[in-house]
Structure 1
Amino acid sequence: MGRKQIDQEASRLTLPILILVSFISCAAVYTFLPFLFRLNGGDPSKLESFAVIRDGDAGNLEGGAEECCRGIENLEYWGPAVKWGSEFKFNSSELCCKACKAMCNGNDGPCLCDTWVYCGNRKECGSKFGECWLKKQKDTLAPDRQEGGTTSIWTSGLIFGRGEGIVALETDHGTLHIKLFPDCAPHSVAYILELLELRHCAGCHFYRAEGRGQSWDSKGNPIENAPLGPPFALIQGTLETQGEPFKKISPEVCPYIKRGSVAWVGSGPEFFISLANHQEWNKVYTVFGSVLPEDMEVAEKIAGLPTKPDVWNNVNVSVLQEHVPLRLKRMKKSHGDLNMKSD
């Protein structure tokens, strides 16, 4: 009888226990699903393509490969955390970067995350290995950072959303607004941000200018059966400022050059802005930004200035009769859109 009584007691408890287990399971599902949808459903590659098309029309920088997600080793960006790394871990810096991009998938307003910091050296990081800190900067063009040299265990990167990460190259012929690509060329963008901190770019200028000629149409597409230069459809200059020694930048992402691409010649500080799509050029130029489409008329105007012929390494080129000085300025946005003013 006693055992029978226990069986009855168990049967009375079974239903409440099942209900409790079901409730806990549902709660767990609703806890984790929103994050999974944000991370996987908000396709970062599509988001980045949208931002680039609206801001710089650069397309897929990897030339068909996956999106860029690069950072700088031995660098720790500070700033308020939106995800704590002690509770948020991944197996690679790329996944950490993509998690930040997934919080930047809205068409309106600033990104919820614009900085990621990852610890990827299992030996050096110890218990911190895999930690992914997602942060939000007060000023994305002047990120709060602590550089630890070769002893830092952190790798950090920036994410510029729509309308963010845009700098201005002012000339006497108009202003070129450039969308920077820190996820594809983090070291190159870091140098541009250093120039912004100097608040001048003395010595920066354009010295070469070649139009599209009869080889490319107004959209930068090659004209059938036309020679691909000279002229080579570009304006070229230097971003080396007087009194500041330039440290050469190692190659980063080198996609096909498109109309509006801003890229280094070699390891810098010489750079160029392309007026055409150069599929014929090998992927050897680090692209660190793209001119906003509406400003390409300024680049075309500079390309039409008076030039004189010259020969570089047995190649005919056109150099400007008078250099065009450049002034690098940071931009201010209005209500998160592209209505910008220079400081």
Structure 2
Amino acid sequence: MGRKAIDSGPNKWGSMILLFLGIVSCTVVYLFMSSVFRPTGNSKFDSLENLAVESEILDGEDSGTCCRGISNLELWGPAVKWGTDFKFNSSEECCRSCKAMCTGNDGPCLCDSWVFCGDKEACGSQFGECWLKKQKDTLAPDRHEKGNKKMWTSGLVFGKGEGIIGMETEHGTLHIKLLPECSPHSVFYILELLSLRHCAGCEIYRAESRGQSWDSHGNHIKNASFGPPFALIQGILNARGADFNNMPTEFCATLRRGSVAWIGSGPEFFISLANHVEWKKSYTVFGSVLPEDMVIAEKIAQLPTKSDVWNNINVAVLEKPIPLLLRRMKSSQEDLNLSSK
């Protein structure tokens, strides 16, 4: 005998209750994460975006799996592989062919930029062309401003020891390895800041230590809280004269000690002092502080602060914000080898 219609009532309501509880749970996480980074409306930093963004979850945690570019961008420069007889079905394949030329243990890559013709209608017979190139200066790539840029998607590839910039503070310089294959829009913005030769308005304004919640390697201590303090230093990268547009969501990985990520769509950012697995994959990571420089970040986290409350969350704001200057690193082999440590 078939089951009576009324018998399905408990299951139906049970499913609805579980769905409701799930929505409530997600909302609580959203509000908490927004509060952790977001000052109150009375703060001069009241323009911070909500931090619980819709993130694209990438397969794998290793940034080495990334291979992204920027559409409507054509990079110029000498070709090391001609695209007329070198074609692929996707920009990712073109990117990977460039990365494959970075097989050495040190030194620059044979290919550091790629250009792919991916618009079938605009490309015509050129569709699928993959041009591998070598820039004269990878931190100031040569853009081709003429022609039909809609046809092209381009990206950068930084090999071992390349793509390292300096975030200079009065307490020392944080060397940051940029991740153009993972977060190309973010990296191109940083390169724009670099070209200004100043970063007026850029600063670190919040600093919180690892406290008793994370060990010196950034691992969470069993049964400890997840803050406060929240194990991070936070600031803003919005220099006067720079054309800042909200950043798209890019490489959202689990935050590790040293990760440099945007808060929402920027220009506020933070450097993680711990492995924040509890924050899920909600932030665009565009760089990583070299391990030997984390002592500088830890030093900043110990500077005098004053208490503040952002949306009912206790935070620590620096008594004296720290001005930032982004600097190019020298291109000598000695300096390039910084990243091999």
- Cα distance, 1:314 vs. partner? 1.5
1:178 aligned partner, one-letter code? I
- Cα distance, 1:161 vs. partner? 0.4
Q: Where does residue 171 of structure 1 map in the other structure?
A: 169
For 1:142 and 1:225, the matched residues in 2 are separated by 47
For 1:62 and 1:226, the matched residues in 2 are separated by 27
Q: Where does residue 311 of structure 1 map in the other structure?
A: 309
Deviations 1:235-276 (A, max 9, x none): 000001124452111111110000000000000000000000
- Cα distance, 1:120 vs. partner? 1.0
Q: Helix, strand or coil for the counterpart of 1:103? A: coil
Task: Please give the residue correspondences for 1:127-166 in structure 2 after superposition, counting only pairs within 5 Å.
Answer: 127-147=125-145, 151-166=149-164
Contact 2:74 2:149 in 1 (8 A): no
Contact 1:62 1:68 in 2 (8 A): no
Question: Larger Cα Rg: Structure 1 or Structure 2?
Answer: 1
Contact 2:122 2:150 in 1 (8 A): no
Determine which of 81, 89, 95 is the counterpart of 2:79. 81
Higher relative contact order, chain-length normalized (CA < 8 Å, sep 6+): 2
- Cα distance, 1:88 vs. partner? 0.3
Q: Where does residue 333 of structure 1 map in the other structure?
A: 331
Q: Where does residue 322 of structure 1 map in the other structure?
A: 320
Q: Sequence identity, in percent?
A: 70
1:137 aligned partner, one-letter code? Q
Q: Where does residue 251 of structure 1 map in the other structure?
A: 249
Q: 1:199 to 1:129 in 2, by over 3 A?
A: same
- Cα distance, 1:116 vs. partner? 0.6
Q: Where does residue 188 of structure 1 map in the other structure?
A: 186
Q: 1:195 to 1:66 in 2, by over 3 A?
A: closer
For 1:313 and 1:198, the matched residues in 2 are separated by 35
Q: Structure 2 unaligned runs (5+)?
A: 1-57
1:167 aligned partner, one-letter code? I
144-153 vs 279-288, greater mean Cα deviation: 144-153
For 2:250 and 2:201, the matched residues in 1 are separated by 25
Q: Where does residue 207 of structure 1 map in the other structure?
A: 205
Contact 2:235 2:268 in 1 (8 A): yes
- Cα distance, 1:61 vs. partner? 8.7
- Cα distance, 1:62 vs. partner? 4.3
For 2:252 and 2:78, the matched residues in 1 are separated by 33
Contact 2:199 2:237 in 1 (8 A): yes
Q: 1:62 to 1:252 in 2, by over 3 A?
A: farther
For 1:92 and 1:169, the matched residues in 2 are separated by 35
Task: Please give the residue correspondences for 1:260-275 in structure 2 after superposition, counting only pairs within 5 Å.
Answer: 260-275=258-273
Contact 1:208 1:320 in 2 (8 A): yes
- Cα distance, 1:159 vs. partner? 0.2
Q: Does 1:298 align with 2:291?
A: no
Q: Helix, strand or coil for the counterpart of 2:269? A: strand
Contact 1:114 1:159 in 2 (8 A): yes
Aligned-pair Cα RMSD in Å? 1.8
For 1:195 and 1:278, the matched residues in 2 are separated by 28
- Cα distance, 1:336 vs. partner? 5.9
Contact 1:213 1:233 in 2 (8 A): yes
Q: 1:151 to 1:278 in 2, by over 3 A?
A: same
For 2:121 and 2:65, the matched residues in 1 are separated by 28
Contact 2:106 2:161 in 1 (8 A): no
Q: 1:64 to 1:171 in 2, by over 3 A?
A: closer
Contact 1:119 1:153 in 2 (8 A): yes
What TM-score do the two structures reach when normalised by structure 1?
A: 0.79
1:281 aligned partner, one-letter code? W
Deviations 1:8-37 (A, max 9, x none): xxxxxxxxxxxxxxxxxxxxxxxxxxxxxx
Q: 1:277 to 1:148 in 2, by over 3 A?
A: farther
For 2:60 and 2:196, the matched residues in 1 are separated by 31
Q: Where does residue 231 of structure 1 map in the other structure?
A: 229
Contact 2:220 2:275 in 1 (8 A): yes
- Cα distance, 1:338 vs. partner? 3.5
Q: Helix, strand or coil for the counterpart of 1:116? A: strand
- Cα distance, 1:315 vs. partner? 1.1
What TM-score do the two structures reach when normalised by structure 2?
A: 0.79
Contact 2:113 2:157 in 1 (8 A): yes
For 1:339 and 1:266, the matched residues in 2 are separated by 33
Any runs of at least 4 consecutive aligned residues in structure 1 with deviations exceeding 6 A, and if so which?
A: none
Q: Does 1:276 align with 2:270?
A: no
Task: Please give the residue correspondences for 1:2-17 in structure 2 after superposition, counting only pairs within 5 Å.
Answer: none
- Cα distance, 1:109 vs. partner? 2.2
> What is the total number of aligned residue pairs between the two structures?
281
For 2:219 and 2:308, the matched residues in 1 are separated by 26
Determine which of 81, 101, 122 is the counterpart of 2:120. 122
Contact 1:75 1:148 in 2 (8 A): no
Contact 1:253 1:286 in 2 (8 A): yes
Q: Where does residue 99 of structure 2 map in the other structure?
A: 101
